[in-house]
Amino acid sequence: MERRHFLTSSLAASALAFTGKSGAQTTMGKQREYYELRKYFMQSGPQTKLTESYVSDALIPALNRMGISPVGAFRLTIGPETPTLYVLSPSTSVETLVTADLHLVQDKQFMQAAEPFWNASAKEPPYVRIESQLMIAFEGHPRLTVPAATAQHAKRVFQLRTYESPTNQDHVRKVEMFHNGEFEIFQKAGFGQVFYGDSLIGPRLPNLTYMLTFGDIGEMNEKWAAFGNDPDWKKLSTSPRYAFEQIVSNITNLILTPTDFSQI
């Protein structure tokens, strides 16, 4: 209990440092979500089918029973370390996310469905490693937005972008930059905006991660060109407040394809 209280308090303090507000409320009073982004690094071969079956048939239904929904599941299409399966889980409760694995083993339906994955031999493991990142939603985009194309099972691609900053000050200013006009410029360019997360726990801090969606890569390139030529973007990006130094030191840019069982 003490460890749980410490973790919850620590995360709340981290969120406070970036928002200047207590708790996880936005200026509009909407509760901000937390996100866990989990990556299953695999090897080509039977591993991929075993892991995807586990996520589809065992993990996502169990997370939904805990109230964690919608859960996204994506294959890495363009980026390093393929094959990798990305699983995105949202919740308004950070405790629900960080204790999910403890509750999974108490779920009989989960354990039965997860048996082939759970009991895989160490000589033939279902994955190489698992990596997890915990984020809190941006104040200006407090809830994940499911694309309309998801319900229609239409073709779509997702772009996952992570911005690392050299200092905490630079990171805070980059988050601020989104709230001072970048959201609106994305909207004008026609981007499908899925989520924006400020990393609380994970590698290569400080950083932020956000996800966009498009019909295909051609559409993505066209809309980024429109964004880059927008006069409001040129004005914002050259503002002395954000251009006084390089506030983003590294960008990771990945293209993901949703699985058939993804809820996003």
Residue 103 lies in a domain: yes
Residue 189 lies in a domain: yes
Residue 10 lies in a domain: no
* N- to C-terminal Cα separation, the chain: 34
Residue 183 lies in a domain: yes
Q: Alpha carbon of 213 to those of 146, 183, 239: distances in Å?
A: 10, 14, 28
3-state helix, strand, coil in the chain (%, to 5): 40, 25, 35
Cα–Cα distance between 33 and 89 in angstroms, integer? 10
Residue 20 lies in a domain: no
Domain of residue 230: give its range. Answer: 27-258
Residue 111 lies in a domain: yes
Instruction: Report the CATH number that the domain containing residue 253 is assigned in CATH.
Output: 3.30.70.100
The H or E element spanning position 116 is: helix 115-118
Q: How do the pLDDT tens digits run along the chain, 264 residues long?
A: 444 443 444 444 444 444 444 345 555 567 999 999 999 999 998 889 999 999 999 999 999 999 999 999 999 999 999 999 999 999 999 999 999 999 999 999 999 999 999 999 999 999 999 999 999 999 999 999 999 999 888 899 999 999 999 999 999 999 999 999 999 999 999 999 999 999 999 999 999 999 999 999 999 999 999 999 999 999 999 999 999 999 999 999 999 999 999 999
Cβ burial, residue 261 (10 Å; 0-12/13-18/19+): middle
Cα–Cα distance between 63 and 15 in angstroms, integer? 24
- Tell me if residue 76 falls in helix, strand or coil: strand
Count: domains in the chain? 1
